Amino acid sequence: MSTSGSNKMASVPIKGIHRVKRKLADGTVREYHYASRGRGSVPFWNDGMAFGIGSPEYLAALSSARPVAEKARGLFREITIAFLASQDFTRLSARSQSDIRGSIFHPKSGIDKKFGGGPRAIFDDPRIRGVVLKWRDEIGGKVGDDRMRHLQRIVGWAVDRSMLRQNNLTRLRGIYRSNRSNVLWTDDEIDTFIKGAPEHIGRILIAATETGLRPGDLAQLGRSHIHPTPGGQRIVIWTAKRKRLASIPVTKRMAELIEATPANQDRFIVNRSGQPYQHENYLGDAVSTWRDKLHIRPELRLYDARGTAATRLLMADATMKEIATVMGWSLKHAAEVIERYAALSPEMSDSVAVKLATAKGKA
């Protein structure tokens, strides 16, 4: 929040400030200050900052912002600056904003490094497609695809606002393909992790393997999501990525985690200080850190717990159709994942094989 007196201007009049009020996604109305009215102008202050209008920090921010907008005129950098200041960007999730900023400002292969200093008119030339594809290929992998996808988003936004005449980056497809359906946590690996990691970190993997929820949903999971059923309990939660209502049966191990959660703790996954994680990435980072400390297979990630969770649901007598619905998979993919897990976990093979055959017969 702004400091006391932040809504008062300095005693010396400050000229040339463009003030804009915007309503954010959560309903908050925020005031932004721009160094100029041009398209290349970027907000240098808003009323959520810790320093007030007219303060030394405010004047320093104003001074540094003006040259940026002026030097960017006519360059592609002018477009990226305007995009970052737009509601199309500011209304995105914190994760999406962070990813796009990373693509723009990466010091070696970022969008600004490659294209920012060039005239923005180069994107009106159809030959830019080849330049972008070569840049994407030089970066390679999923990172290259993500950078290209973020550049496509910026260019599309600029065309919609007549900052560019045409979009020459449509229908450029990524080339990275990842199949991690056979990368699953075995029972021994899960037990090793839970025994060796701190209790609050172990709970992350337990919840992930028992529910199949993505890290962002795990971070929000709490008592309000638990509902009774005739035979036990279920988790009902709107998933953040697919925006759908998931209904997940509570397994015995998940029920034990819920029961062990202190009564005054609303969320089931918290950090060492007992506070909710501020970003979903921290959950995956914590699991990867202790995976390495415990010398568990380095290719395993928290996200791979989703495949394991499918088998957990099957062992809890969920049908193949129920598993596919909970996980957002096709029946075929759900069966393939479970078969792979059974092969990797001999101690569960017989039981899983019987249930799998029964489930397939009903599918």
**What are the start-end ranges of the H helices in the chain?**
56-71, 76-85, 87-90, 94-105, 111, 128-139, 141-160, 187-196, 199-211, 215-220, 252-260, 281-293, 305-315, 320-327, 331-344, 346-362
For residues 52-59, average pLDDT: 78
Quote the pLDDT of residue 330: 73
Q: Is the Cα dihedral 42, 48, 54, 60 positive or negative?
A: negative
For 120, which DSSP code? Answer: G
The CB-based long-range contact list for 289-296 (8 Å cut-off, 24+ gap) reads 290/193, 290/196, 290/197, 290/198, 290/201, 291/193, 293/196, 293/197, 294/192, 294/193, 294/196, 294/197, 296/189, 296/192, 296/193
Confidence of residue 40 (pLDDT cuts 50, 70, 90): low
Quote the pLDDT of residue 33: 87
Ranges 29-33, 158-162, 318-322: which has the least confidence: 318-322
Quote the pLDDT of residue 122: 93
Using the predicted structure, report yes or no on whether residue 51 has a pLDDT greater than 50: yes
For residues 328-346, average pLDDT: 68
pTM above 0.85, yes or no: no
Using the predicted structure, report yes or no on whether residue 66 has a pLDDT greater than 70: no
Using the predicted structure, report yes or no on whether residue 139 has a pLDDT greater than 80: yes
Ranges 178-187, 243-252, 289-298: which has the least confidence: 178-187
Instruction: Check residue 328 and give left, alpha or beta (phi > 0: left; psi -120 to 50: alpha).
Output: left
Q: Per residue in 264-276, pLDDT tens?
A: 999 999 999 899 9
Ranges 56-60, 79-83, 205-209, 346-350: which has the least confidence: 346-350
Q: Which of 221-225, 248-252, 273-277, 296-300 has the highest mean pLDDT?
A: 221-225
Chain-centre distance for alpha carbon 254: 25
Using the predicted structure, report yes or no on whether residue 356 has a pLDDT greater than 60: no
For the chain, what percent of residues have pLDDT higher than 70? 81
Q: Per residue in 103-131, pLDDT tens?
A: 998 888 999 999 998 999 999 999 999 99
Task: Give rounded-to-5 percent helix, strand, coil for the chain.
Answer: 55, 10, 35
> Which of 129 and 245 is assigned the larger pLDDT?
129
For residues 327-337, average pLDDT: 74
Quote the pLDDT of residue 62: 76
Confidence of residue 224 (pLDDT cuts 50, 70, 90): very high
Look at the chain and count its residues.
363
For residues 281-306, average pLDDT: 89
For 174, which DSSP code? Answer: P
Q: What are phi and psi of 169, to 5 degrees?
A: -115, 15
Confidence of residue 303 (pLDDT cuts 50, 70, 90): confident
Structure tokens at 166: 């045409």
> Which of 38 and 118 is assigned the larger pLDDT?
118
Confidence of residue 323 (pLDDT cuts 50, 70, 90): confident
What is the number of other CB atoms lying within 10 angstroms of the CB of residue 153?
Answer: 18
Task: Specify the 3-state DSSP secondary structure of 293.
Answer: helix
Quote the pLDDT of residue 60: 72
Q: Which of 141, 57, 154, 60 is nearest to 101 (CA)?
A: 154
Q: Alpha-carbon distance 115 to 105, whole Å?
A: 11
Q: What is the mean pLDDT of the chain?
A: 82
Within 8 A by CB and 6+ apart from 40, the residues are 69, 70, 72, 73, 77, 78, 81, 82
Q: Which of 5-9, 154-158, 208-212, 239-243 has the highest mean pLDDT?
A: 154-158
Q: Which of 93, 124, 119, 112 is nearest to 151 (CA)?
A: 112
Q: What are phi and psi of 163, to 5 degrees?
A: -85, -20
Q: Alpha-carbon distance 315 to 210, whole Å?
A: 10
Quote the pLDDT of residue 6: 40
The CB-based long-range contact list for 5-12 (8 Å cut-off, 24+ gap) reads 5/52, 6/47, 6/51, 6/52, 6/53, 6/55, 7/47, 7/52, 7/53, 8/52, 8/53, 8/54, 9/53, 9/54, 10/53, 10/54, 10/55, 10/58, 10/59, 11/54, 12/54
Q: Is the Cα dihedral 20, 21, 23, 29 positive or negative?
A: positive
